[in-house]
Chains A and B, each alone.
Chain A
Amino acid sequence: MSQKKIGDVVLNVQDISLRFGGVTALTNISFDVREHEVRAIIGPNGAGKSSMLNCINGVYQPQEGSISFRGQTFKHMNSRQVAEMGIARTFQNLALFKGMSVVDNIMTGRNLRIKSNLLMQAIRNPFSIGGAQKEEEAHREFVEHIIDFLEIQAHRKAPVGQLPYGLQKRIDLGRALAMEPQVLLLDEPMAGMNLEEKQDMSRFILDVNDEFGTTIVLIEHDMGVVMDISDRVVVLDYGKKIGDGTPDAVRSNEDVISAYLGTSH
């Protein structure tokens, strides 16, 4: 348990409802996320956890409700804005850029910060005419720090497609970190990992949370992990919120036990 001071609310979700045609994915979900905390969203499959993140990311547009980030309130988000506001995200089923090398994948996380325009990039050259090359090198340096942090130096140049699952998950995280996010949304970062990999990953998450003070919103199945590393937990079931509070509070919540813990393991 990290001994850090929890700040005030950064991200606030108010009665979000999301429908696909007839199917209702989310109904009136509200919860808030405080600065520096690790916030977990749990729930059985199809509870709408990923949909929730997709709403925050602006991948899906909820029909009702609003999301406010640092005071600004949005009817629905636009991915670009979200990214600019400093919300990064990893994906449940890997969404890496298979055709690109590890370095390039993580470099894409820096793209928002790249200033030089298309033409400058076109005339990029070693003789520092036009800033493009210098800029590339600067960002590359930052990326190298992340690579060190995630202990994947050896795989730098490898095409991500060829790397084992666990590593790919790390690179996914690395790409998100490259954005220097204030809030980091992690969609099942440990799904399908063995114990060791899980430990590594939770270590990374906590480090990120401590060292960079990044706020973390975490979707996870593994109750053990969740209870260990998260400060507060939201429980979703069939697109409804059935619990919200500290791990212990949630653990003792009747609905949750019946709906979730009861059914799954």
Chain B
Amino acid sequence: MAFFLEALFGGLMAGMLYSLVALGFVLIFKASGVFNFAQGAMVLFAALAMARFSEWIPIWTGIHSRFLANVMAFVLAAALMGIVAWLVERLVLRHLVNQEAVTLLMATLGISYFLDGLGQTIFGSNIYPINVGMPKDPLMLFERTFDGGVLLNLEDIYAGSVAALMVAALSLFFQKTATGRALRAVADDHQAAQSIGIPLNRIWVIVWFVAGITALVAGIIWGSKLGVQFSLTTVALRALPVVILGGLTSVPGAIIGGLIIGVGEKLSEVFLGPFVGGGIEIWFAYVLALVFLLLRPQGLFGEKIIDRV
């Protein structure tokens, strides 16, 4: 029982992080119809930037408060993601307007390769720490009720709540701000949006920037847990089933989907895994999403598409 709770909880926390990455997918897809395969690369790129800047800033400026250094690093990294967003719009999207989704998907594949290479060229390919002062040690609950107690992970809790905050902030941004509304308009209908004078290009830059920020946050959380390293890119592959499950166009979908996938894969791994040799969580998540896909092609909250002839 205690163990089940732990697995469940671990799953929820992992799910929160997945949904944070998934959110990046959804944002971009809503606003530009692009299935951004590069989200994972952006996470790595942003995290690398954060890690290295926070390491370099003290050397450059002689500031030694870790807090300040982190803040400045965050700002710099964010700015960098802004530049990336701008360049992507300039060099790629702009030239691929009204192409089929699949072409755009491949383009983002290209972008992700490029970012992977660039990031490691600039920032190096070792493991780099991000230290934002997350607590590392576990927290024991109900030690009386269950033998050994239920282990909670403070770091996970922090991470989870940051992710939750991020999500809340984004939904606010979408609902309340003018830009947010513009984004929603674009999402609903490109031509219409353009015709009422919403500048598509600027919107896209903004969206990719926002996605970049989510990537940065996700990168920081994962980075401070595991250290920043090339293998962060796999995070994106882990978040794909989430998007499928939740529906490409739905923010709440990304959240719920994330939690379902997170819990699903962890529980499957710890309870089914041992019987089949373990390591099933990755494909389990995918197959889960796949089965779901067959039942409901548009995903949990996605809109149904009717094609006209």
Instruction: Please determine if A and B sit in direct contact within the complex, based on CB atoms under 8 angstroms apart.
Output: yes
Interface, chain A (partner B; CB < 8 A): 20-21, 50, 54, 59, 91-93, 95
Q: Does any Cβ of A come within 8 Å of B306's Cβ?
A: yes
The reply to whether A95 and B306 contact each other, CB–CB distance below 8 Å, is no
Q: Are A54 and B309 in contact (CB under 8 A)?
A: yes
Q: Are A50 and B309 in contact (CB under 8 A)?
A: yes
Residues of A within 8 A of B306 (CB): 20
4 smallest CB-CB distances across A and B, nearest first, come from A59-B309, A20-B306, A91-B309, A54-B309
User: B309 — which chain A residues lie within 8 A by C-beta?
Assistant: 50, 54, 59, 91-93, 95
Produce 1/0 per residue, B291-309, CB < 8 A to A.
0000000000000101011
Task: Pick the most buried of B304, B306, B309: most chain A CB atoms within 10 A of its CB.
Answer: B309
Q: B133-157 CB contact bits vs A (8 Å, 1 = yes)?
A: 0000000000000000000000000
B78 to chain A, nearest CB (A): 42
Q: Which residues of chain B come closer than 8 Å to A50, judged between CB atoms?
A: 308-309
Chain A residue at minimum C-beta to C-beta distance from B306: A20
Q: CA A21 – CA B303 in complex, angstroms?
A: 12
Supply 8 A–B pairs (Cβ within 8 Å), ascending by A: A20-B306, A21-B304, A50-B308, A50-B309, A54-B309, A59-B309, A91-B309, A95-B309
Report whether over half of chain A's contact residues are helix, strand or loop; otherwise say mixed. loop
Nearest chain-A residue to B307 (Cβ)? A59
7 further A-B contacts with Cβ under 8 Å, apart from A20-B306, A21-B304, A54-B309, are A50-B308, A50-B309, A59-B309, A91-B309, A92-B309, A93-B309, A95-B309
| Residues on the B chain within 8 Å of A59, using CB | 309
Q: Which residues of B lie under 8 Å from residue A54 when comparing CB positions?
A: 309
Question: Beta-carbon contacts of B98-132 to A below 8 Å, as 1s and 0s?
Answer: 00000000000000000000000000000000000
- Please, how many angstroms separate the alpha-carbon atoms of A95 and B308 in the complex? 11
Task: List the A side residues contacting B304 at CB < 8 Å.
Answer: 21
Which residue of chain B lies nearest to A54 when distances are taken between CB atoms in the complex? B309
| Contacts of B261-308 to chain A: CB distance below 8 A | 304, 306, 308
**Which residues of B have CB within 8 Å of A91?**
309
Q: Which residues of B contact A21 (CB under 8 A)?
A: 304
A91 nearest in chain B by CB position: B309
Min CB gap B255→A, angstroms: 25
Q: Once bound together, how far apart are the Cα atoms of A93 and B304, in whole Å?
A: 22
Q: Which residues of B contact A95 (CB under 8 A)?
A: 309
User: How far is B308's CA from A92's CA once the two chains are assembled, in angstroms?
Assistant: 10
Bound: A21/B304 CA distance, A? 10
Find chain A residues with CB under 8 A from B308 CB.
Answer: 50
Q: State the CA gap A20–B306 with chains docked (Å).
A: 9
A95→B306 CA distance, assembly (Å): 16
Residues of B within 8 A of A92 (CB): 309
Q: How far is the CB of B122 from chain A (nearest CB, A)?
A: 41
- Smallest Cβ-Cβ distance to B304: which chain A residue: A21
State how many angstroms separate the Cβ of B98 from the closest Cβ of chain A.
Answer: 14
A95's closest neighbor in chain B, by CB?
Answer: B309
Chain B residue with minimal CB distance to A23? B306
Chain A nearest CB, measured from B301 CB (Å): 16
Q: Looking across the interface, which residue of chain B has its beta carbon closest to that of A59?
A: B309
Query: A53's closest neighbor in chain B, by CB?
Result: B309
Per-position contact with A for B166-198: 1 when CB-CB < 8 Å, else 0? 000000000000000000000000000000000
> A20 CA to B305 CA in the complex, in Å?
11
Write out the residue numbers on chain B whose beta carbons fall within 8 Å of the beta carbon of A20: 306
Least CB distance from B306 to A in Å reads: 6
Distance in angstroms between the alpha carbons of A54 and B308 in the assembled complex: 9
Interface residues of B in 2-27 (CB under 8 A from A): none
Q: Once bound together, how far apart are the Cα atoms of A20 and B308, in whole Å?
A: 12
CA–CA, A35 and B306, complex, Å: 33
- Least CB distance from A128 to B in Å reads 40
